[in-house]
Amino acid sequence: MGDVFDPNRGEVQARVVLGDRSVLDRAIAHARAAQPAWAALNPQRRARVLFRFKELVEAQMDELAHLLSSEHGKVIADARGDIQRGLEVVEFACGIPHALKGEYTQGAGPGIDVFSMRQPIGIGAGITPFNFPAMIPMWMFAVATAVGNAFILKPSERDPSVPVRLAELFLEAGAPEGVLQVVHGDREMVEAILDHPDIAAVSFVGSSDIAHEVYRRGAAAGKRVQAMGGAKNHGIVMPDADLDQVVNDLTGAAFGSAGERCMALPVVVPVGEETAERLRARLIPAIEALRVGVSTDANAHYGPVVSSEHKARVEGWIAKSAEEGAEIVVDGRGLVLQGHEGGWFVGPTLIDRVTPEMRSYHEEIFGPVLQIVRAQTFEEAVALPSRHQYGNGVAIFTRNGHAAREFASRVDVGMVGINVPIPVPVAYHSFGGWKRSAFGDANQHGMEGVRFWTRVKTVTQRWPDGSGGATGHDAFVIPTMG
């Protein structure tokens, strides 16, 4: 059994039964039974299930948002955003009849036509993190099921209720039993998924060390694997940037959802000392004005972090920054809310004079902490995110089109924002970082997702006209289209 906490109070509010390999075996058996008939449905009929699912989720948005918020701790408005971003991938998947169209060549050779088709891989699995309990599962299962697969979801045991509810709504929308299933568990369940011979592909989102192990173990078992890891996203601020807009964007991107986002913006890189001083002067009052509250507080900018261990970890990184010689400008440690003294709250923190040699810069903090790393030149600003171990997202703030174009072209990072602080691509493009932020060759959702969850079959056909084909020695020569 696992405890499910209310992060606002630090109290157990529910318990979840953690499954073992036998639970996975039963889920696999149901998936095997359901998948062939599901795949045999024409894509329009599968899309209709997704349309109905989308309508059901929208009708229960408030209920789902409150449920999500109660277990994760993010404020209600942010919880709605979590669900909505997942629904946008569902909307993309509703167009699966178009996305599954193959290629066709008439007359590739004498009387020969060639065409390709995309077919489901069979059974896929998703292992999802605590920080987006609605969005990331929908990123995975919407596309995976739309193309004709059965799907087994293993959500975080910290906030499992919304994934379960989504699966119930998917069933209510008309999906056959066994097409989408949820299993709960810890490391034992993850290892069982990675080792099971009937699971053809695994999608994972979590920390980089675990992502690397998931990729290694899954690939060794002959599976397709996409494993998204950690991040340390940078925001480059050029001297010509609109600092009022930058401060507004930074406070939301660094502190929204208590910084528990792989696309948060925890590092700001002002170019030039004058830019750094002007930015710092504006950031301090903006950060001090942020309101930390319980997740149901409509006026709160963000709520608690997910666990007492994570609160201690974030505050430990703040202390580590000071030990390394950085300047704690705004200190969020020790925050206690009256009436919620047991809650896991961390105040917004601003740290200046951070350097690339510091471990607190090198590692992912994953909390409401913004670090200032000063760069003297544009070249230095490009080099900082390019040399970092993570390569998930990056942003540049500037009015100079040439600088923005150069930066986007040269920076060694997978997703780039130009005056956009959190450059998460829209659903019909794909999401994925570089370096230790992603392992595997395929990104999440968009056409990359369609390709990941399908296999290509290419057919070369000829309809004889009765005149006969190659004879004698010609029949033993590799055919060509010349």
- Where are the domains positioned within the chain? 2-229+437-458, 234-418
Report how far residue 75's alpha carbon sits from residue 299's, in angstroms, rounded to the nearest whole number. 9
Q: How high is the pLDDT of residue 464? A: 83
Question: How does pLDDT run across 312-350, given as a tens digit for each residue?
Answer: 999 999 999 999 999 999 999 999 999 999 999 999 999
Structure tokens at 202: 């695994």
pLDDT tens figures, 388-446: 999 999 999 999 999 999 999 999 999 999 999 999 999 999 999 999 999 998 999 99
Task: Return the CATH class of domain 234-418.
Answer: alpha beta
- In the predicted structure, residue 155 carries a pLDDT above the cut 70: yes
Confidence (pTM): 0.94
Structural contact between residues 250 and 422, judged by C-beta atoms closer than 8 angstroms: no
Tell me the CA distances in angstroms from 14 to 4, 71, 254, 393, one per residue in order: 5, 9, 30, 35
Looking at the predicted structure, is the pLDDT value of residue 466 above 90?
A: no
Q: Identify the pLDDT of residue 465.
A: 77
* Predicted pLDDT of residue 474: 66
81-110: per-residue pLDDT in tens?
999 999 999 999 999 999 999 999 999 988
Q: Is the pLDDT assigned to residue 469 strictly greater than 70?
A: no
CA distance 183 to 350: 40
- Confidence tier at 482 by pLDDT (50, 70, 90): low
For 122-144, the pLDDT digits (tens) are: 999 999 999 999 999 999 999 99
262 counts as catalytic: yes
Across the chain, what does the average pLDDT equal? Answer: 96
pLDDT confidence band for 60 (50 / 70 / 90): very high
pLDDT at residue 477 tops 90: no
Indicate the residue type of 250.
Answer: L
Q: What is the pLDDT of residue 354?
A: 98
Query: In this predicted structure, what is the pLDDT of residue 476?
Result: 67
Distance CA 205, CA 85 (A): 16
Superfamily of domain covering 2-229+437-458: Aldehyde Dehydrogenase; Chain A, domain 1 (3.40.605.10)
Nearest to 121 by CA among 458, 451, 427: 451
Catalytic residue among 31, 262, 370, 382: 262
